[in-house]
Amino acid sequence: MKAQAWIRIWISIVSLMLIVGCFNYIVDPNGFNRMIEIPRFNKIKANHSDAMTIKFKMPLLRQGNWDNLMMGTSRIGVLDNDVLNRYLGGRTFNMEQPASVIPVQYDSFMYAVHYNKIKSVVYAVDFMSFNENRRLNDDYIELKSKLRSFNPLYTYDIYFNQKTLKKSLKLIVDNYRGKIKPSAMYLKNGRRVYQNHIYAFEHNTLDMQKNIDGTVRVWFKENGYYEHYKYSPKYMKQFQDMLKYCKEHDIKLYVYISPMYIDFFNALGQSDLLDEFEHFKSELAQVTDYVDFTGVNPISVNIENFWDSAHLRLDKTDLIMKDVINEPNSRLDFGTWVNKDNVSKHLQRQKSQYNKNYNLSAVLENK
């Protein structure tokens, strides 16, 4: 074959790849850029960016212009970065990792501080994250080696493949037919937006008790987030390594346990996880002081503060952050300061708060 023919073939291949890449970029089925959103075409996303957290967030962190980090699982992901900006100054990135364990959070933290001069970290510590039997996030497994070696991560490659093209075509069809509902998504500051709940709220179709029972099942059912829970001292040591890094690099650290709707708290009391839950809190107090928002308090008993049993609404961020960004031993409005000296008394007090009439078995069976 003549050289000119080969050149024409390669030009055709490259042109086709560029066309596919541009098409996927415009449709944006994963919600990575959200630059062009057209009703009945691509406005509502189904395959949203929080399914690829590492892929989405690490390139944003690599820009190196963030001052503060919000760390933890999706419980902190729904909270408002701007509230932290007001309290801490500078720009805050929400480094939430959905349903993640400590190794995922640790590697993401080290990647973030490698590329940014971080001044403050607000860490929502999650009981689930210390389960050594919890599987690792798929996107973390795929990109772990690059993350640990601080290699640059990019998003452009996602647009130049057949898998994304199939997603794009399906998204267009579903948008046109009106067969798709809004889903959760990430903003460029890392915050998670529950568009599905907001949409239901605005259209008077939000069933809060259904959401609450549904998330209780997600955590406590067979094959749920708490399945085969085993507290990991190794994970606590890794968490402690993050605390040590913050201290050595003059990073101000604020640690808390997120509020949970009272049904979730009572579910823990009814499950066989209660001893592990209390052990986790006791062990946490040995390595750091923290603010505990679990138990019975004005936040946890008000259903209007939540989207479901585990996630606060955005406009409730200030309710807890004004307690978190505080001096130890100060009077708090909703949370409780916990340290190694008072943790036993704190846990004993919370034991009396569990509602023995809550029926976890009925919730799990009512699918």
Domain that holds residue 104: 53-155+181-365
pTM exceeds 0.85: yes
Specify if 98 maps to a domain: yes
Residue 289 included in any domain: yes
Helices assigned H by DSSP within 34-135: 53-61, 74-77, 81-88, 102-115
What is the rounded average pLDDT of the residues 8-36?
89
33 occurs within a structural domain: no
pLDDT tens digits for range 201-248: 998 999 999 999 999 999 999 888 998 999 999 999 999 999 999 999
Structure token pair of residue 358:
């809550």
Asked if pLDDT for residue 190 goes beyond 90, the answer is yes
Single-letter amino acid, residue 40? R
Cβ-count burial 185-217 (b if 16+ within 10 Å, e if not): bbeebbbbbbbbbeebeeeeeeebeebbbebbb
Residue 14 pLDDT class (50, 70, 90 cuts): confident
Residue 45 lies in a domain: no
242-267 pLDDT, tens digit per residue, is 999 999 999 999 999 999 999 999 99
pLDDT of residue 179: 84
Close Cβ partners of 11 (under 8 Å, ≥ 6 residues apart) = none
Note whether residue 160 is domain-resident: no
Residue 95 lies in a domain: yes
How many domains would you assign to the chain? 1
In-domain check, residue 192: yes
Residue 163: inside a domain = no
78-136 residue pLDDT tens: 999 999 999 999 999 999 999 999 999 999 999 999 999 999 999 999 999 999 999 89
